[in-house]
Amino acid sequence: MKLVCTQSDLSNNLSLVSRAVPSRPTQPVLANVRLVADEQTQTLSLTAFDLSLGIRTTFSATVEESGDITLPAKLLNDIVSRLPGGEITLTDETGVAVATLICATGRYQVRGMGSEDFPELPLIEGGEVLELPSNLLIEGLRGTLLATSADETKQVLTGVHLTVQNDTLEFAATDGHRLAVVKTAKAEALDPTSSHAFEVTVPARALRELEKMVGMHKEDSEITLHFDQGQVIFELPQQRLTARTLDGQYPAYNQLIPNQFQRQVTLDRRQLISAVERIAVLADQKNNIVKFSLDAENQQLTLSVDAADVGSGKESLSAEISGESLDIAFNVKYLVEGLKAIPSSELQMQLNAPTTPVILSPIGAVQMTYLIMPVQLRS
């Protein structure tokens, strides 16, 4: 192998694939990143794979001689990220798993392993194939990833559930305390014989990496999704992410959303976030609970916290309130995360009673539903 590439290209792509390197590899070669130089296409491909999540990225390089080697991911990333900007020459000797990196100021050698034991990324033959614009994918992920569970004992809840139907692509996530649902326009089925409808739950970890990968592209691009039982693949320009799907029946979340509401509140989202974050300073001192008091007569929402032995706080905001006045309380963390994920300047809050689910949704923006369970107030 012999090639020349820029330090920034190599460093950025190493950083990306390194997120699929396991912290405790079950095989020594999995601690490495695979480098494949192709003289014909004048590209260098980097691959990392922990047997569950795999990331491959390809970028342009001046390749004089093709080659294939695996090198320790952390060590290589640490070296390359510290090298000065400019060109890097990367070579290895045939039959010897040692790579040499030459930059303007120095020369480094890194011992690696042959690529014959590095597992291939899964391929999907058949199954479902969809093509979706990157902006729709980002909308869905930004609106739902926050609600995934971190509890590995509830594994199916640690992912985002994707439902493809004839006219919509729906993203959903719940951790048992809140539920986030985003509906976007229909994705395009590439296979005309496809059933055009399927469901799959993808680990949040994989989707967070996918979100970062999509963010690296300056322009909107098409993303191809391949799905078959147990495996999902997302293909971007010059990049690919593969992940195992999560087993288990996803909760029937649509049954949790009330069909009608007795009260509705419309208000400025940014003002509400600012008020909640200010009063959360006191909430953090006690129990992370903020109380909402709806005053229908004066068309006002009052936020309050009473932290015993610490202090108390109160904020009031103008709001359009329909229905009777009410006191209700929320966990500050769940509330703020939901408010920040809503992509509009104004939001709508729909509710019935102090102990029933509350719906937050944007006005005139993405079709998003954020359900949050209130906290019971002690008298």
Tell me, yes or no, whether 61 lies in a domain.
yes
d(CA 29, CA 112): 9
d(CA 158, CA 170): 17
Q: What is the per-residue pLDDT for 190?
A: 43
CB 214 within 8 A of CB 236: yes
Last residue of a domain, one of 194, 226, 254: 254
Are both 229 and 343 inside the same structural domain?
Answer: no
Task: Give the count of domains, the chain.
Answer: 3
Tell me, yes or no, whether 335 lies in a domain.
yes
For residue 343, the number of C-alpha atoms closer than 13 Å in the C-beta half-sphere is 12
Q: What is the per-residue pLDDT for 160?
A: 98
More confident residue, 190 or 118: 118
Are both 80 and 133 inside the same structural domain?
Answer: no
Tell me, yes or no, whether 378 lies in a domain.
no
Q: What is the per-residue pLDDT for 65?
A: 95
Q: What is the per-residue pLDDT for 166?
A: 72
Which residues constitute the domain of residue 18? 2-117
Last residue of a domain, one of 60, 84, 117: 117
Tell me, yes or no, whether 274 lies in a domain.
yes
Question: Hey, CA dihedral for 239, 237, 173, 161, is it positive or negative?
Answer: negative
Q: Summarize the confidence of residues 288-314 as an average pLDDT.
A: 91
State the chain's mean pLDDT as an integer. Answer: 92
Q: Enter the pTM of the model.
A: 0.90
d(CA 111, CA 97): 6
Tell me, yes or no, whether 122 lies in a domain.
no
Last residue of a domain, one of 88, 117, 146: 117
Are both 57 and 165 inside the same structural domain?
Answer: no
Tell me, yes or no, whether 123 lies in a domain.
no
Q: What is the per-residue pLDDT for 196?
A: 59
Tell me, yes or no, whether 313 lies in a domain.
yes
Are both 317 and 339 inside the same structural domain?
Answer: yes
Please write the tens of the pLDDT for every residue from 223-257: 999 998 899 999 999 999 999 999 999 999 999 99
CB 90 within 8 A of CB 5: yes
Q: What is the per-residue pLDDT for 187?
A: 56
CATH at residue 337:
3.10.150.10
Q: What is the per-residue pLDDT for 379?
A: 58
Task: For the chain, give the percent of residues with pLDDT over 70.
Answer: 96
